[in-house]
Amino acid sequence: MEKSVDFNKCNALILAYMGDAVIELLARRHIIGDGDRKISELNVEAKKYVTAISQSAAVERVLPHLTEKELQMFKYGRNAKGVHTPKSASAVDYRRATGLECLFGYLYLLGDTERAQCLFDIAYKAEE
């Protein structure tokens, strides 16, 4: 039995935590469509979708397509307190990636996986 989510009590970083998994799953589903390949090759391919730098770049492609509520959720994640910056990305890239993950977590927990897939397709079409 699934628990319902109270978005008024849900921390942005919790939504980003879920969104990270959602983006990873959508990326994996996308890349396995290319046919039979080695797992090591799939892992290399998946990194094109899940790094802070690639997610930050994806933000540029997806922003014009967001609804007002989706933009609000992106900003909620982007502006979250307590976000640490890894050595592999700038603070700006990492915050934008956290915002994207927050948005995808929100959509998943809302049950709108169709919209999440649509935004994933828009966000990563340049990766093709």
pLDDT (0 to 100) of residue 81: 85
d(CA 23, CA 101): 7
Active-site residue, from 20, 34, 93, 121: 20
Quickly state the pLDDT bin for 8 (edges 50, 70, 90): low
pLDDT tens figures, 106-115: 999 999 999 9
pLDDT tens figures, 97-107: 999 999 999 99
The arithmetic mean of pLDDT across residues 12-36, rounded, is 91
Residue type, 19: G
* 6 belongs to the catalytic site: no
When the candidates are 3.40.50.200, 2.120.10.30, 3.40.640.10, 1.10.1520.10, the CATH number that belongs to 12-127 is 1.10.1520.10
Q: From 109, 106, 108, 85, select the one nearest 97 (Cα to Cα).
A: 85
Q: Which residue has the tokens 């990636």?
A: 97
Name the residue ranges covered by the structural domains of the chain: 12-127
Q: What is the pTM of this model?
A: 0.89
d(CA 85, CA 67): 28
Percent of residues in the chain assigned helix, strand, coil, to nearest 5: 75, 0, 25
pLDDT tens figures, 26-78: 999 998 876 778 888 898 888 888 899 999 999 999 999 999 999 999 999 99
